[in-house]
Every structure is written in structure tokens, then in C-alpha cells.
Amino acid sequence: MKRLSNKVAVITGGSSGIGLATAQRFVEEGAVVYVTGRKQQELEAAAAKVGAIAVQGDASNPADLDRLYETVRGDGRQVDVLVANVGTAEVARLEDVTDEHFDKTFTINVKGTLKTVQKALPLLNDGASIVLVGSVSGSTSAPGFSVYGASKAAVRSFARGWANELKGRNIRVNTLAPGTTDTPGIGSGVDDDTRRAFMTHLTSRVPLGRWGRPEEQADAILFLASDESSYITGFELVVDGGATQLGAFG
């Protein structure tokens, strides 16, 4: 029996990286999967590749979220699994933080996560699973990522609060906290040599000696989404090659 047979899943930010890898795993495990992304052509190509249903939209835009859930409702479906995966990260040291940097980060990472889950509530089946994609930066933030880390700490806090609020419906809410993962968003906007140097530097701080793969994060999300984690809620699952637990950021 596949782990998500007869389940309906919604994944925001499913055009690439962890979101796309998760969509693929969910489809392989029997789920009907809806994925969102801002870029129509990129999203449609990715969804077609893994067998998901594409709904173009920006997860930080409430109107786009309404259209997403109306699509699911129009297909006569409810939601069993919701993965709030959209996020952004930009480097800014304390002295360089601007209102624009702060507002962008918190609008996408915090408000976007809130609205993604809030607007899904009428469609969520009792017993559903919600997975919020946070970050190890929510606990141990590197220089230049203080605002990003604060936004991901807020996401972690959401999981605890919502797990309590939704327990009467047996809806579980958990957080995945990825460490450094080799996705297209890492090092975007820089040349290949700079990206490789950045990867080498961060790899030296990971006890397992390498970056994570999107597929490894997807496997962890699958665990949190499936009945295999039926007695787990309000939890943060850290998948970072041992970096935080073994003190690599100390």
C-alpha cells in the first residue's frame, strides 16, 4: 500500500528544489498533488514532469491563494496534506537591513505561510497533516541572515500554536528545518566559481561532509505527511547532516 493513496496534497513553491522533489515523492506514493509557482511556464513544465497539477500563483498573494483553493474545490476535492514551502532569503547584515528587506522577507516567509494555512482551513479534512518548511536558521542564524532567521523562527512558532489550535480536528502541524540543501535558489545571481566556493565553505561545517539533496528533504516531508508520523505534532524535524546537533555552527 502506498503511503499517500487516495490523498490530496497541496504544495506551494513546487516549481523546483524541495517543493518539486516533494511533489514527485507524493505522486509516487499515490497522492493527487497540486503545486504552485509564480512562473507559469516553469511551473507547468515541472508539474508535467512529476505528474502534478499546476496552479500558477504567488503564495504571498491572498488572491492567488483563493484561486488555488477554489481550483481544488472546483475539482470536488478536499485537502489531506498541505506543505507550505514558499520562502525567500536575502543577505543583509544588521547595519544594512532596510524596511524593504524586512517587509519582503516577512511578507513571503511569515504572512505567506499564515495565509497559505488559514485559507486552506475550510478544505482541510479532519486528520490532515500540515508541514511548514522552516530552516535551521530559525534556531542558529548565520551573519547576514538575522531577518531571515527571525522569519523562520516565526514559522516554527506557528507550528506549535496551530498544532494546539487544530488538535480537536486531529490535524497535525509539524515543521521541517532543512540545513543547506543543493537547490537552484542557493547562490542564485552569482557566477559558478563563487557558488562553488560558497558550497565548499558551507560543506566544511557539515559533519556528514556534504550538502543535502532536495530528495532527502522530500523524504522527511513525506514522513511528516504520512500516517508513519501519526503520533507526532508540533515537532520540528531538523535535516541538516548533523550541523546543528553536533555544534558545527557554534
**Which positions are annotated as active-site residues?**
148
Q: Could you tell me if 167 and 117 are in contact, meaning their C-beta atoms sit under 8 angstroms apart?
A: no
Q: Which three cell numbers stand for residue 212?
A: 543535502
Say how far apart CA 194 and CA 212 lie, in whole Å: 19
DSSP three-state, residue 212 = strand
Q: Cα–Cα distance between 155 and 175 in angstroms, integer?
A: 8
| Cα 81 from Cα 23, distance rounded (Å) | 11
Between CA 54 and CA 41 the distance in angstroms is 10
User: Can you count the helices (H) and strands (E) in the chain?
Assistant: 8, 7
